[in-house]
Amino acid sequence: MSIDIISKIKEAGLLGKSGSNFPVWIKWDSVKKADALKKYVIANAAEGEPEVFKDGFILNNYPKEVVLGIKAALNCIEKSSGYIYLRKDYYNKFKYTLNKLIKGADIKLFKKTGGYLSGEETVLLNIIEGRLSEPRIKPPYPTESGLFGYPSLINNVETFYRVSKVLKGEYKDNRFYSISGDVNNRGVFEFKTDLNISQILKESNNFPDFDFFVQAGGGISGEILLPSELGRPLKGTGGIIIYNRKRTNPASLIVKKLKFLMNENCDKCVPCREGIYRIFEMVKNNDIDKDKLNEIVFALEETSLCGLGKCSVVSIKGFFNKLL
Amino acid sequence: MKIQAIIDDKRIESEEGKTILEAAKDNGIKIPSLCFHSDLSPGASCRLCLVEIKGRKGLHTSCSVKLEHNMEIRTKSPEIEKARRINLELIFSQHIEECDDCLLKLNCELLRLADEFKVEITRFSDRKKKYPIYKFGPSLIFDSSKCIDCRNCVEVCHIQQADFLEVKKRGCFYEIVPSKNKKRDCIYCGQCLVHCPVGAFEAVGEFEDIEKPLKNKDKVVVFQFAPSIRTSIGEEFNLDYGAIVTEKLAAAIRRLGADKVFDVSVGADFTTYEEAKELVERLKGGKNLPMFTSCCPSWVKFVEFYYPKLIPNLTSVRSPHIISGALIKTYWAKRENINPKNIVVVSIMPCVAKKYEIRRKELKIKGIKPVDYVLTTRELAWLIRKRKIDIKNIKGEELDSALGMPSGSGIIYGATGGVMESALRQVSYNLLKQPIDIEFKKVRGMEGVKKAELSIGGGIIKAAVASGIGNAKRILDELKKNPKLYNYIEVMACPGGCIGGGGQPVPADKEIRRKRAESLYSIDDKKEIKTAGESPIVKRVYDEFLNNEKLIKDICHTRYFKKKKEVK
């Protein structure tokens, strides 16, 4: 059965739903093959990107499927124990249902502490271990040395949901999208993964009739796209936010987002700690030095320790190139 | 296992398991780095040791990535250089430059890198202008406006089991702050200072107060320097690591205006003599065992604050410079007919905790402090440079011999295991009643924990030696399980002992500490008298002066007290 599920996942072409698009079977396979006394399977429901709420939707509507997917991983990977890592409000809301579903299985619920960064997979490991909420240096990757130093499979809850579909033979190459902002039909929608953003907005009855821009892929790390740029599928986490251009001041919006980043980052590495602050300072004082800005963005992208700093440039670049 | 790789078109070989940075260094390729310290785990926070790895996207920190077989690495490229320059500019934006009296003035890696990468150091305004300066007792100052948040100090403070330095969030930023927790206190070891890459820590008085002792013009100013100084201070003058400068140092100190220059190693012989006596008594009586050494004031403070129940285990014998200071102000003063109140004793120490130790009231003899000032190795070097004394070319002079010359034992006090070896030599000497020439090699070397057993007169000394409080803690944990595992334990708070102390030249790492220690042992090798009890001055002072128990107790022994948090 175990070989079976991995090859089925491979055959289905399932990609990780955290936003990474990493082939799921490779992770499963390397944890399964790792030589260790103990292993872990972790479902990540930290969902820290502002304005993304599809994991909450999945936990609310398909908890059975999610747990089924996790159990499949536990079956497939010997000597493994499971965790469902839930952000606080999800923990409070879903613990009753989930506890019932995981009864008898070696799965524990874990209430997330900390903020945005706590969803990053190595920070998640530190938090479950009771350490500082800081990213770990990779390599080693969690699949080699994860929770308490043991090989660990970390997948988004939606990924486990999709695995359950593979198991049942009902797999379709679909994805959940949360759509919010200046829209009429806010909510979570399921479409094919190759649908472009324009189609997603139209199909969900959310395509604006006013001048707008979107942030696609999450309220912090998502990219800024103009209406003419929507002919591409969604990258990053499954969230699209629509902004009414007339009602939005881009400068104050990016100040808000930079502040969020400054608050939520771990301050460990230089480009993220100092660089984001300097960009914030420039925008706030309305004194933008393009050279400085480009150089800081370069340092952030090339030299940040973890994904937070690296991904922050996606939206920062968008704001400066397209909106300011 | 050996693996091969290519760095900058050069084929290299390295042991498997090393990082790219280490492997490059072993092969003579220097990759710029700042926050990396070989004593600590890589923090990878400064983002300067960047390299390109063929087949991998982006830039990688060489301190944190392990070298793999057949890796192809570039340490220089326009991209790498650009990234280093920007990150350096950002580092400068959080580091207030006060270079004039910085302890890294002469070997500041940050400034060197700024020069190498053509950095505009004032490109950004100073973010930390208003950041506070903290004082940790009479020993250390932390200027948080210079801190670059690498957190090396936090890690080393944790290794030292003090956990006094913490990362705390204030507003948007995490800062490094002294703990407010009542159960945590500074033990004044100064390892934060040694491991800080940018000079955010300094000793109290470094370097504003260094001339104070010499201003006592109407008094007899006596300098005495600790065993370890003679093999470390040379580094401050660009001499090789481990260069032995005992006589040059004596000459330089005289040029500074000191009236006498004595050797703390003589004091160490008295410490050994008394401590060996106490050890044998305790072993006979079976009380308060294992006995702990107490010449390290950070270790003493650690026990008094974190493990007060173990206070009775500390030997009551005073540390070397306190005993020699007391002998200067009593025995020597009487001989020279000088009023002790007119003597100023200045100890040159490898240590910032010694600044704390001399303030302990219980050390006073008839109201007089045995030692008036403590200057660190760095402070003395600064003073010598300031007075333009050329230590490289100065002609060496003998130390003042009024208090005699030390045995080899007194010299090796400066390295981890030295106190233990001295005591073992002394105990053996007492038993055999003849000079011995045994080397206790098992207690030598840079390992954090060393163990040895010695059968003596039917009994066994079960010895353990720890340097670094983390290593001492390991021994304490062992004792919890088996209280009789050891009966004599030497602890030095700093890695490698005093040669790795918080008052020593920066930088220091395992290799440098090893060289400083080896030189001490080489001095011992050449000494004819190797045992404290053989030393003529020890014999003479016990004959002429220390001939009653009360006096021995006053001059050579002390007490310890359970401590409440001192640094608030």
CB contact under 8 Å between A270 and B45, yes or no, is: yes
Based on the domain organization, do A15 and A137 belong to the same domain?
yes
Say if pTM beats, i.e. exceeds, 0.90.
yes
Note whether residue B362 is domain-resident.
yes
Residue A274 has its nearest CB partner, among B42, B66, B93, at B93
Note whether residue B535 is domain-resident.
yes
Two tokens at A209? 């009739």
Two tokens at A242? 């629509």
Residues of A in contact with B127 (CB under 8 A): 274, 277
Based on the domain organization, do B286 and B187 belong to the same domain?
no
Q: What is the DSSP letter of B66?
A: B
pLDDT of residue A137: 86
Based on the domain organization, do B195 and B316 belong to the same domain?
no
Pure H helices in chain A? 2-12, 24-33, 54-61, 63-76, 88-102, 121-128, 157-168, 197-203, 250-264, 270, 276-284, 290-303, 307-318
Based on the domain organization, do A135 and A184 belong to the same domain?
no
Suggest the residue from A122, A145, A270 to mutate for an interface test with chain B (most B CBs closer than 10 A): A270
Note whether residue B87 is domain-resident.
no
CB contact under 8 Å between B44 and A137, yes or no, is: yes
Suggest the residue from A274, A282, A294, A305 to mutate for an interface test with chain B (most B CBs closer than 10 A): A274
- Give the CATH number of the domain where residue B477 resides: 3.40.50.1780
CB contact under 8 Å between A305 and B45, yes or no, is: yes
Residues of B in contact with A292 (CB under 8 A): 123-124
Looking at the complex, report in whole angstroms how far the Cα of residue B164 sits from the nearest Cα belonging to chain A. Answer: 16
Note whether residue B84 is domain-resident.
no
R_g (Cα) of chain A, nearest Å: 20
Residue A268 has its nearest CB partner, among B45, B59, B83, at B45
Residue A1 above 90 pLDDT? no
- Give the CATH number of the domain where residue A181 resides: 3.10.20.600
Residue B127 has its nearest CB partner, among A259, A277, A302, at A277
Give residue A158's pLDDT band: very low, low, confident or very high (50, 70, 90). Answer: very high
Residues of B in contact with A302 (CB under 8 A): 50, 58-59, 79, 83
pLDDT of residue B128: 97
pLDDT of residue A19: 83
Q: How far apart are CA B514 and CA B94, in angstroms?
A: 34
Note whether residue B83 is domain-resident.
no
Based on the domain organization, do B234 and B353 belong to the same domain?
yes
Residues of B in contact with A269 (CB under 8 A): 44-47
Interface predicted TM-score (ipTM) of this complex, two decimals: 0.93
Q: What percent of chain A has pLDDT over 90?
A: 93
- Give the CATH number of the domain where residue B169 resides: 3.30.70.20
Looking at the complex, report in whole angstroms how far the Cα of residue B180 sits from the nearest Cα belonging to chain A. Answer: 18
- Listing DSSP states for A242-269 in one string gives EEETTT--HHHHHHHHHHHHHHHS---S
Question: How many domains, chain B?
Answer: 3
Based on the domain organization, do B291 and B189 belong to the same domain?
no
* Mean local confidence (pLDDT), A245-251: 95
CB contact under 8 Å between B94 and A299, yes or no, is: no
Residue of chain A with shortest Cα separation from B95: A274
Question: How many domains, chain A?
Answer: 3
**Which segments of B209-265 are extended strands (E)?**
220-225, 260-263
Looking at the complex, report in whole angstroms how far the Cα of residue B108 sits from the nearest Cα belonging to chain A. Answer: 19
pLDDT of residue B217: 87
B343, B259 contact by CB (below 8 A): no
CB contact under 8 Å between B173 and A299, yes or no, is: no
Note whether residue B82 is domain-resident.
no
Based on the domain organization, do B198 and B221 belong to the same domain?
no
Based on the domain organization, do A276 and A297 belong to the same domain?
yes
Based on the domain organization, do A259 and A125 belong to the same domain?
no
Q: In terms of Cα–Cα distance, which of A121, A99, A100 is closest to A112? A: A121
Which of A220, A244, A268 is the endpoint of a domain? A244
CB contact under 8 Å between B173 and A295, yes or no, is: no
Give the model confidence (pLDDT) of A187-236 as tens digits.
Answer: 999 999 999 999 999 999 999 999 999 999 999 999 999 999 999 999 88
The owner of tokens 């190693």 is B265
B501, B494 contact by CB (below 8 A): yes
Looking at the complex, report in whole angstroms how far the Cα of residue B97 sits from the nearest Cα belonging to chain A. Answer: 17
Based on the domain organization, do B63 and B133 belong to the same domain?
no
What are the 10-residue block averages of pLDDT along chain B, 568 residues in total?
A: 96 96 97 97 96 95 96 98 98 95 94 96 95 98 98 98 96 96 98 98 94 92 98 97 98 97 98 96 94 98 98 98 98 97 98 98 97 98 96 96 94 97 92 71 94 84 97 97 96 98 97 98 95 95 96 98 96
Based on the domain organization, do A147 and A286 belong to the same domain?
no
- Give the CATH number of the domain where residue A138 resides: 3.40.50.11540
Axis-axis angle for helices A307-318, A276-284 (nearest 10): 30
Q: In terms of Cα–Cα distance, which of B279, B229, B242, B321 is closest to B420? A: B279
CA atoms within 13 A on the CB side of A179: 27
Based on the domain organization, do B116 and B231 belong to the same domain?
no
Which of A195, A226, A244 is the endpoint of a domain? A244
Based on the domain organization, do A183 and A262 belong to the same domain?
no
Give the angle A117-A119-A122 at the CA atoms, nearest 5°: 85
Expressed as residue numbers, the domain containing A39 is: 2-168
CB contact under 8 Å between B174 and A263, yes or no, is: no
Looking at the complex, report in whole angstroms how far the Cα of residue B359 sits from the nearest Cα belonging to chain A. Answer: 38
- Give the CATH number of the domain where residue B61 resides: 3.10.20.740
Looking at the complex, report in whole angstroms how far the Cα of residue B71 sits from the nearest Cα belonging to chain A. Answer: 15
Based on the domain organization, do A143 and A273 belong to the same domain?
no
Based on the domain organization, do A6 and A154 belong to the same domain?
yes
Suggest the residue from A292, A303, A310, A313 to mutate for an interface test with chain B (most B CBs closer than 10 A): A303
Which of B203, B223, B256 is the endpoint of a domain? B203
Based on the domain organization, do A128 and A274 belong to the same domain?
no
CB contact under 8 Å between A296 and B90, yes or no, is: yes
Expressed as residue numbers, the domain containing B173 is: 92-203
Based on the domain organization, do B477 and B550 belong to the same domain?
yes
Two tokens at B161? 């089991």
Which of A196, A213, A244 is the endpoint of a domain? A244
Residues of B in contact with A296 (CB under 8 A): 86, 90
Which of B203, B222, B241 is the endpoint of a domain? B203
Residue of chain A with shortest Cα separation from B125: A278
Based on the domain organization, do B218 and B191 belong to the same domain?
no
Residue A303 has its nearest CB partner, among B83, B91, B173, at B83
Based on the domain organization, do B287 and B141 belong to the same domain?
no
Which chain A residues touch B if contact means CB-CB below 8 Å?
132, 137, 139, 259, 262-263, 266-271, 273-275, 277-278, 292, 295-296, 298-299, 301-305
pLDDT of residue B505: 97
Residue A303 has its nearest CB partner, among B59, B64, B94, at B59
Based on the domain organization, do A11 and A154 belong to the same domain?
yes
Query: What count of CB pairs under 8 Å joins A to B?
Result: 81
Axis-axis angle for helices A24-33, A63-76 (nearest 10): 40
Based on the domain organization, do A129 and A192 belong to the same domain?
no
- Give the CATH number of the domain where residue A275 resides: 1.20.1440.230
pLDDT of residue B437: 58
CB contact under 8 Å between B82 and A303, yes or no, is: no
Residue A299 has its nearest CB partner, among B83, B93, B172, at B83
Note whether residue B452 is domain-resident.
yes
Based on the domain organization, do B487 and B404 belong to the same domain?
yes
Which of B179, B203, B227 is the endpoint of a domain? B203
Based on the domain organization, do B59 and B182 belong to the same domain?
no
B466, B475 contact by CB (below 8 A): yes
Q: What is the DSSP letter of B444?
A: -
CB contact under 8 Å between B172 and A270, yes or no, is: no
Note whether residue B561 is domain-resident.
no
Residue B87 has its nearest CB partner, among A132, A259, A270, at A270
Based on the domain organization, do A266 and A294 belong to the same domain?
yes
